[in-house]
């Protein structure tokens, strides 16, 4: 790689002797800069904090730490704001997925527009980290990602509680009459105690972990609690590291290689992470010359034991994970399953970064010899309902339902399901399969969390604790329950899932990797002839939403825009 005397990209802006250069330097002088300041490498700091995003409200002190360190190391830090994606305050819940691609493009355009030599990107909430990684892949300037860190878990009635898992269990108890509305309010006030992303292994925690596993975030950075002083110390390290990365021209394409993605998929399996990690890794890989496929998640998950005992599939919370050694200890425990020769943003290999990382609490982090569980992770299904694939997060599913035959109860939308399913007189029976259609990237114009389906009270009262959900949509990572997700092709583009009717018999066979409807090809063809899909009839007619539904790819390639992908783009 290039040495310290490498010509800086930013000098295109400031070395011009004509009118353009004059105007650029004049603008800098308004900011109080001196002639020698123009020669410093320019480090762009992407900050998306806002009052809409509780995951990011602590970012100002982190940005200050990075700025001070960059200045001390001879750089010129330049902070810029981007759109914020606070999943918790979006409506419908999870609608921020629609804007992941937009945020990635915004960051890319900011870097293209201005004289930037390197980038530091801060993020925490669900879609923010993947958007930053997608942007880094497209820009391919030296970049370091700083995860925002987890919130402290809550404490309620003598035990730790956290996002997702504990609130869903509480609402089920409410449905059984074991808790009151006042109890739910009390839990709501106790759930989390600080800024930061969810304290369970949801999508945010999964993606910050995977940023570290890919080598794009410094080793040990993702699990530090959001408001822990050690996170500020890490930010100061990043200010120095990005200056070295610029000097050495260490780019994301050098770090996020095919081997790095295989490491990340292994880590996704080892942490029993969010199903959304599949979508995001596919999208990031698609921005690079990395041909990651959906089936790779199944194959790598099948040989990777679960090493993390953490909600929603385990017992502990993010602070416990950090105290037990965090991601470096977990990755080191994976031993020969990882490629340790891949580069990281520090300029050192992954092996050099994690060697010596020890497990401090074996209740939280297991080993290959004594794992938390045998391999489970992501199962990839096909069958006559999912010819291009669907996924099941087996670690949060009920084992008894992984092989199941049941009557389909079909809803055309999440709104219809919410309106009908929970009525006391609605016809829902033990063993039924709840099917929610038009939740895919085009059918829903953004893929909100259509699989967040509670067991109806009438079934809870009958002793039913779980049911099979089937959807072309997705679900948040903190949710547990048996769900066949991201069915491809989606209903809105003519996928066979859209041909289902209430009363059809669904056969789920996760061990056999299939999901089917018990209908002949002749009957499916007849139904298809009756009602061809018209995805544009009720979709967005203008703006970004229209662009999205017209150009977004299917879930099996990560729901990026077709014109942003490098893989298979021709």
Contact partners, residue 122, CB within 8 Å, separation at least 6: 45, 46, 47, 48, 49, 56, 59, 62, 63, 145, 146, 148
Give the three-state DSSP class for 508: strand
pLDDT of 245 reads: 98
As a whole number of angstroms, the distance between CA 508 and CA 179 comes to 33
Q: DSSP class of residue 504?
A: P
Question: What are the two backbone dihedrals, phi and then psi, of residue 400, each rounded to the nearest 5 degrees?
Answer: -65, -20
* Size of the chain in residues: 570
* Residue whose entry in the numeric block shows the structure tokens 């425990």: 333
Q: Extract the tokens encoding 198.
A: 């969810």
Q: Report, in angstroms and rounded to the nearest whole number, the Rg of the chain calculated over CA atoms.
A: 24
Distance CA 80, CA 554 (A): 32
pLDDT digit string, tens, across residues 281-326: 999 999 998 999 999 999 999 999 999 999 999 999 999 999 999 9
Q: 553, 561 in Cβ contact below 8 A?
A: yes
Predicted pLDDT of residue 176: 87
Q: 198 and 164 in contact (C-beta within 8 Å)? A: yes
Q: Give the single-character DSSP code of 37.
A: G
Burial (CB < 10 A; 0-12, 13-18, 19+), residue 301, is buried
List, for residues 507-562, the tens digit of each pLDDT value.
999 999 999 999 999 999 999 998 765 555 578 999 999 999 999 999 999 999 99
Kindly state the tokens that stand for 321.
Answer: 């994970």
Helix ranges (DSSP H) in 421-511: 457-461
Q: Which residues, 6 or more positions from 544, have their beta carbon under 8 angstroms from its beta carbon?
A: 99, 102
Q: What DSSP state is assigned to residue 10?
A: T
Q: Which fold has domain 378-564?
A: Glucose Oxidase; domain 1 (3.50.30)
255 and 290 in contact (C-beta within 8 Å)?
no
Query: Which tokens belong to 195?
Result: 């800024």
Report how far apart, in Å, the C-alpha atoms of 350 and of each of 213, 260, 344, 444 are.
9, 9, 6, 39
The reported pLDDT for the residue numbered 172 is: 85
φ/ψ bin of 543: left (φ > 0), alpha (ψ from -120 to 50), beta (otherwise): left
What pLDDT does 168 receive?
Answer: 82
pLDDT of residue 195: 94
The superfamily (CATH) of domain 40-153+192-354 is: Response regulator (3.40.50.2300)
pLDDT at 1: 35
Q: Strand runs (DSSP E) across 108-184, as ranges?
A: 118-123, 143-147, 154-156, 159-161
The β-bridge relationship of strands 76-81 and 118-123 is: unpaired
Over the stretch 128-185, which tens digit does the pLDDT of each residue have? Answer: 999 999 999 999 999 999 999 999 999 999 999 988 778 888 988 998 899 999 999 9
Task: Report residue 18 CA to chain centroid gap.
Answer: 46
Angle, nearest 10°, between helix axes 128-139 and 100-113?
40
Residue 325 to residue 308: CA distance in whole angstroms: 11
Question: Does residue 89 contact residue 52 with C-beta atoms inside 8 Å?
Answer: yes
Exposure string over 340-371, b if 16+ CB within 10 A, otherwise e:
bebbbbbbebbeebbeebebeeeebbbbeeeb
SS3 446: coil
Q: How many beta carbons lie within 10 A of that of residue 207, not counting itself?
A: 34
**Domain extents for the chain?**
40-153+192-354, 378-564
Rounded to two decimals, the pTM is: 0.95
Backbone phi, psi, residue 27, to 5°? -65, -35
Backbone angles phi, psi at 373, to 5 degrees: -155, 165
Q: Do 496 and 437 meet the contact criterion of CB atoms below 8 Å apart?
A: no
Q: Which residue numbers in the chain have pLDDT < 50?
A: 1-5, 570
Q: Give me the pLDDT at residue 65, please.
A: 98
């Amino acid at each position: 790689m290039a040495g310290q005397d490498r010509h800086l990209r930013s000098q295109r802006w400031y070395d011009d002797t004509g009118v353009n250069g004059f105007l650029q330097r004049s603008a800098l002088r308004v900011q109080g800069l001196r002639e020698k300041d123009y020669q410093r490498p320019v480090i762009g700091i992407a900050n998306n904090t806002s009052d809409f995003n509780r995951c990011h409200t602590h970012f100002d002190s982190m940005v200050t730490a990075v700025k001070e360190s960059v200045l001390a190391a001879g750089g010129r830090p330049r902070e810029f704001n981007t759109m914020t994606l606070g999943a918790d305050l979006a409506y419908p819940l999870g609608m921020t997925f629609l804007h992941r691609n937009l945020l990635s493009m915004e960051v890319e355009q900011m870097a293209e527009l201005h004289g930037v030599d390197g980038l530091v990107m801060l993020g925490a909430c669900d879609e923010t980290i993947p958007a930053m990684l997608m942007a880094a892949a497209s820009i391919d300037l030296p970049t370091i990602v700083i995860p925002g860190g987890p919130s402290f878990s809550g404490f309620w009635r003598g035990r730790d509680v956290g996002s997702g898992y504990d609130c869903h269990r509480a609402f089920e108890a409410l449905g059984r009459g074991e808790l009151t509305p006042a109890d739910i309010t009390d839990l709501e006030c106790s759930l989390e105690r600080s800024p930061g992303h969810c304290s369970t292994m949801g999508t945010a925690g999964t993606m910050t972990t995977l940023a570290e596993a890919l080598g794009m975030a410094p080793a040990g950075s993702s699990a530090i609690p959001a408001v822990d002083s050690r996170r500020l110390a890490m930010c100061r390290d990043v200010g120095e590291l990005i200056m070295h990365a610029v000097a050495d021209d260490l780019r994301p394409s050098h770090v996020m290689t095919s081997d790095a993605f295989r490491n990340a998929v292994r880590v996704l399996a080892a942490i029993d992470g969010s199903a959304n990690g599949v979508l995001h890794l596919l999208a990031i890989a698609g921005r690079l010359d990395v041909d990651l496929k959906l089936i790779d998640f199944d194959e790598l998950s099948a040989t990777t034991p679960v090493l993390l005992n953490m909600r929603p599939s385990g017992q502990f919370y993010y602070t416990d994970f950090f105290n037990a050694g965090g991601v470096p200890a977990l990755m080191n425990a994976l031993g020969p399953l990882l490629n340790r020769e891949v580069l990281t943003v520090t300029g050192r290999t992954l092996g050099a970064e994690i060697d010596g990382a020890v497990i401090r609490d074996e209740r939280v982090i297991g080993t290959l010899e004594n794992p938390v569980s045998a391999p489970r992770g992501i199962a990839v299904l096909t069958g006559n309902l999912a010819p291009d694939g669907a996924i099941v997060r087996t670690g949060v599913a009920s084992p008894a339902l992984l092989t199941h035959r049941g009557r389909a109860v079909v809803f055309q939308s999440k709104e219809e399901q919410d309106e009908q399913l929970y009525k006391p007189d609605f016809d829902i029976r033990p063993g039924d399969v709840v099917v929610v259609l038009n939740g895919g990237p085009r059918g829903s114009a953004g893929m909100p969390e259509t699989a967040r389906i509670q067991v109806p009270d009438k079934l809870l009262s009958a002793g039913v604790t779980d049911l099979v959900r089937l959807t072309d949509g997705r679900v948040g990572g903190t949710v547990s329950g048996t769900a066949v997700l991201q069915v491809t092709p989606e209903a809105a583009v003519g996928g066979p899932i859209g041909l289902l009717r209430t009363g059809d018999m669904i056969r789920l066979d996760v061990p056999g990797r299939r999901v089917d409807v018990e209908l002949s090809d002749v009957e499916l063809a007849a139904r298809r002839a009756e009602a061809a899909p018209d995805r544009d009839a009720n979709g967005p007619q203008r703006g970004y939403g229209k662009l999205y539904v017209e150009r977004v790819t299917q879930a099996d390639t990560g729901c990026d825009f077709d014109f942003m992908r490098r893989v298979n783009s021709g």
